[in-house]
């Protein structure tokens, strides 16, 4: 009995020792890693600012400064001229149905189809560059040339913008009225096409302008509605390019005076009066006058020799 009790006690002690050892081992092996303390929560305002600092750089619209578009005056009673440094290959108008647009070399001609169209953007590609502006309708005829050939100065003031100087406008109108009473002097300077005759009736100079009186004879039965008259100073060189034709340098001259949409009735004669900036052409140069029809394709081009212009009487 004593032996059995001793054995039982020994077995019990061994079991207890093993239990304590297993528990200690389990405690060492299965002890969870020490947890780092969580940071204290940010105040509500601070959290909002932190969120905006992350989101705003991606969603906030750009605040970069933009150059405002230049307004270009357009009327339904006259044509607006825009001249660029290089050849124009593309013109895009926002509301094309409201405007008539034509490209010739480095110039763009714009005219309103109706009265009071809303302003619209215009994009022009000249050479490898682009220019963008805005067409704005005006009630009075536009007597101004938009010359963008000098990028350093942009749009230069135009001496022929007569609406800016009423006194100068009155002086030019008086001189043109005086020229309209003169006897015709240059009947030999003339062209004839499509039963129309365009000739130079009279020409005068003063210190600032050249004044011209043009004669139009309409031998057809259809009225000739003058859209606008274009003036260009053409300078030729003595040498030919590749043996084909002479090199030409053209400079547009903004016209002034005269009435818009003048009509030369069928089988009748009419006169047109204009003033252009004074210029002195070389012996190889000449002044080219181009008459365009509003609702038709009859175009007349009259070359005026430089000698006629340079030797004109003073008005």
Smallest CA-to-CA distance from 134 within 99, 83, 161 is with: 99
For domain 70-158, is the CATH number 3.30.160? Answer: no
Classify residue 28 as left (phi > 0), alpha (psi -120 to 50) or beta.
Answer: alpha
Higher-pLDDT residue of 129, 46: 129
Same topology, domains 70-158 and 169-314? Answer is yes
* pLDDT > 80? residue 198: yes
Residue 313, pLDDT above cutoff 90? yes
Closest by CA to 194, choosing from 217, 215, 214, is 217
> Tens digit of pLDDT for each residue in 54-65?
444 444 444 444
User: What is the reported pTM?
Assistant: 0.52
Yes or no: say if 144 and 160 are a contact pair by the CB < 8 Å rule: yes
What's the pLDDT score for residue 170?
82
Domain residue limits, the chain: 70-158, 169-314
Q: Specify the higher pLDDT residue, 1 or 249.
A: 249
With b meaning 16 or more CB within 10 Å and e meaning fewer, what string describes 30-40?
A: eeeeeeeeeee
- 130 contact partners, CB below 8 Å, separation of at least 6: 123, 124
For residue 175, is pLDDT > 60? yes
Task: Quote the pLDDT of residue 135.
Answer: 92
Q: Are strands 70-74 and 129-137 parallel, antiparallel or unpaired?
A: parallel
pLDDT of 110: 92
- Asked: is 169-314 a CATH 2.60.40 domain? The reply is yes
Confidence (pLDDT) at 47: 42
| Most confident among 152-161, 208-217, 293-302 (mean pLDDT) | 208-217
Identify the pLDDT of residue 147.
87
User: According to the model, what pLDDT value does residue 161 have?
Assistant: 46
Q: What percent of the chain stands above pLDDT 70?
A: 66
- The whole-number pLDDT of residue 56 equals 42
287 pLDDT above the threshold of 80: yes
Of the candidates 139, 147, 101, 153, the residue with the CA atom closest to the CA atom of residue 122: 101
Confidence check: pLDDT of 23 > 80:
no
Model confidence over 201-223: pLDDT tens digits?
999 999 888 999 999 999 999 99
Q: How many Cβ atoms are within 10 Å of 136's Cβ, its own excluded? A: 15
Q: Render pLDDT for 238-265 as a digit per residue (tens, 0 to 9).
A: 555 555 555 567 776 767 655 656 899 9
pLDDT confidence of 40, banded at 50, 70, 90?
low
Among 135-144, 183-192, 291-300, top mean pLDDT goes to: 183-192
Q: Is the pLDDT of residue 236 over 50?
A: yes
pLDDT tens digits for 79-125?
A: 899 999 888 888 888 887 888 888 888 889 999 988 889 989 998 98
Q: What is the pLDDT of residue 222?
A: 95
pLDDT at residue number 309: 93
CB 231 within 8 A of CB 253: yes
């Amino acid at each position: 009995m004593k032996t059995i009790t001793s054995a039982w006690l020994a077995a019990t002690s061994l079991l207890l020792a093993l239990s304590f050892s297993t528990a200690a081992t389990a405690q060492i092996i299965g002890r969870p890693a020490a947890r780092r303390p969580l940071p204290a929560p940010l105040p509500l305002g601070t959290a909002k600012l932190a969120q905006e600092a992350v989101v705003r750089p991606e969603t906030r619209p750009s605040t970069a400064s933009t150059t405002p578009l230049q307004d270009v005056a357009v009327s339904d009673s006259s044509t607006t001229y825009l001249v660029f440094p290089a050849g124009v290959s593309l013109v895009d108008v926002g509301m094309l149905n409201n405007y008539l647009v034509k490209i010739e070399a480095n110039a763009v001609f714009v005219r309103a189809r109706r009265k009071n169209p809303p302003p619209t953007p215009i994009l022009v590609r000249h050479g490898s560059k682009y220019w963008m502006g805005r067409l704005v309708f005006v009630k009075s005829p536009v007597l101004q040339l938009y010359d963008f050939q000098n990028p350093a100065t942009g749009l230069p003031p135009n001496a022929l913008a007569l609406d800016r100087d009423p006194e100068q406008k009155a002086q030019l109108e008086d001189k043109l009225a005086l020229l309209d009473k003169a006897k015709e002097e240059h009947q030999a300077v003339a062209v004839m096409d499509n039963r129309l005759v365009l000739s130079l009736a009279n020409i005068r100079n003063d210190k600032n302008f050249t004044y011209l009186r043009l004669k139009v004879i309409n031998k057809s039965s259809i009225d000739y509605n003058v859209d606008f008259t274009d003036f260009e100073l053409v300078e030729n060189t003595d040498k030919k390019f590749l043996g084909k034709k002479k090199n030409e340098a053209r400079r547009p001259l903004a016209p002034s005076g005269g009435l818009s949409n003048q009509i030369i009735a069928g089988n009748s004669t009419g006169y047109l009066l204009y003033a252009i900036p004074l210029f002195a052409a070389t012996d190889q140069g000449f002044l080219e006058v181009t008459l365009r029809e509003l609702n038709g394709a009859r175009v007349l081009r009259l070359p005026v020799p430089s000698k006629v212009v340079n030797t004109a009487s003073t008005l």
